Amino acid sequence: MKKFDFKMRSESRHVCLFVDNFSGHTISYEPTNVQLEFFEPNMTSFVQPCDAGIIRCFKALYCRNFCARAIDLDEAGESNIYKITLLEGMMMAHAAWRTLSPTTIMNCWNHTQIQRYVILFIFFIFIFFWRSDFII
């Protein structure tokens, strides 16, 4: 946060950073050019599409791949069917992500219903920056 604040200060910029209310998101440093705004409790799944189901679907697909691999190893007579290398894990994660359908991602974005708020936000930003008393 400190580096980001220093960067914004060096560029003479002021920004607002929206953060979920996770207890670990606290800082002892008081930023001058970054304003932190915390979401209300239980709002994360409404404003972050990944938390609205994309991660859950990805984990389910990864788990399916992992279990299928374990079954294949068991049927092949392997003794340690749950042992996995980093490369194998990365390959299964890649396969799970490729299996995740665009429809699932679109449905998660639609669940958040933030598209209409993005339009309002862009309009607000346009009006804010268009004001004659605002200096860039």
Domain count, the chain: 2
**C-alpha distance from residue 129 to each of 14, 121, 123, 134 (Å):** 12, 12, 10, 6
Residues 65 and 102 in one domain: yes
Residues 103 and 50 in one domain: yes
Residues 79 and 25 in one domain: no
Residues 58 and 95 in one domain: yes
pTM over 0.85: no
Nearest to 31 by CA among 50, 43, 15: 15
Residue 95 or 117, more confident: 95
Yes or no: say if 134 and 128 are a contact pair by the CB < 8 Å rule: yes
Residues 16 and 50 in one domain: no
Residue 88 resides in a domain: yes
pLDDT greater than 90 at residue 90: yes
Q: What is residue 45's predicted lDDT score, i.e. its pLDDT?
A: 62
Report the range of poorest mean pLDDT among 77-86, 102-111, 127-136. 127-136
Task: Print the domain residue range for 25.
Answer: 1-41
Residues 33 and 85 in one domain: no
